[in-house]
Structure 1
Amino acid sequence: MSFRVIVVPFLNVEAMALFPFILVKNKEMAADKTLINHELIHLKQEAELLVIPFYILYLLNYIANLFIYRNHNKAYLNIVFEREAYRNEKNYVYLKQRGLWFWRFCF
């Protein structure tokens, strides 16, 4: 998968996958293998859902989680796309063995 890392100093988070780019807060984060792998998993999720539907499902899942957990951090960490990315961010061959829509199994 082809991607480009862009440093965005005013970013409010460490990194963000915004298809087809990975945005990072600083150059050090661009060198963080685990962080980049996490964001690559998101790029794969975005691509397989044709980008816009990914963002819609991501937002809907977050809103539903806010009602369930009543806490931003818990809501964020329980988004199915984040669960898949966090579970596999240190598995650097994950994307080679990952099947289509594996985020479905992260409920």
Structure 2
Amino acid sequence: MRIVVNKYLIGRHFVGIALWPFIVVKDPFLKKDEYFINHEKIHLRQQVELLVIPFYFLYFTEYCFRLLQYRNAQLAYCNISFEREAYLNEDDLHYLKRRKPWSFIKYL
């Protein structure tokens, strides 16, 4: 996993993204944020489990579904199963060592 800094990432709340096999961050200081990086590593694991391209398709599909459900972009984003797993476990730096495959399913 390589962390790449790209100051041109778009969006006010958008400071990083996991794009297998990279983590792209907006600001260099984020490279040292263990919890943020752990969040993105969880996404990388999810991407590998779903063979990368299907991950992005499912992520976008679930986002659209949640957007229809909540009618609020931020709420929709926060309720995507992939994000729920990552946010709820980002503080546990040992999570990926004991995480079972396809764990995101229980967050649907």
Task: State the TM-score, normalizing by the size of structure 2.
Answer: 0.96
Extract unaligned runs of 5+ from structure 1: none
Determine the structure 1 residue equivalent to 2:4. Answer: 6
CA distance in structure 2 between the aligned counterparts of 1:95 and 1:66, rounded to whole angstroms: 29
Determine the structure 2 residue equivalent to 1:45. Answer: 46
In the TM superposition, what is the alpha-carbon distance from 1:90 to its structure 2 partner? Answer: 0.4
1:34 matched to 2:39? The reply is no
In the TM superposition, what is the alpha-carbon distance from 1:26 to its structure 2 partner? Answer: 1.1
Determine the structure 1 residue equivalent to 2:66. Answer: 65
> Residue type matched to 2:89 in 1?
N
CA distance in structure 2 between the aligned counterparts of 1:67 and 1:16, rounded to whole angstroms: 23
CA distance in structure 2 between the aligned counterparts of 1:83 and 1:47, rounded to whole angstroms: 18
SS at match of 1:5: strand
> Residue type matched to 2:4 in 1?
I
> Residue type matched to 2:5 in 1?
V
CA distance in structure 2 between the aligned counterparts of 1:83 and 1:8, rounded to whole angstroms: 25
CA distance in structure 2 between the aligned counterparts of 1:93 and 1:31, rounded to whole angstroms: 17
Extract unaligned runs of 5+ from structure 2: none
> Residue type matched to 1:5 in 2?
I
After superposing on structure 2, the runs of 4+ consecutive aligned residues of structure 1 that deviate more than 3 Å are none
SS at match of 1:100: coil
CA distance in structure 1 between the aligned counterparts of 2:15 and 2:43, rounded to whole angstroms: 14
Overall identity of the aligned pairs, in %: 49
Q: Pairwise CA RMSD of aligned residues? A: 0.5
1:87 matched to 2:88? The reply is yes
Determine the structure 2 residue equivalent to 1:54. Answer: 55
CA distance in structure 1 between the aligned counterparts of 2:42 and 2:9, rounded to whole angstroms: 20
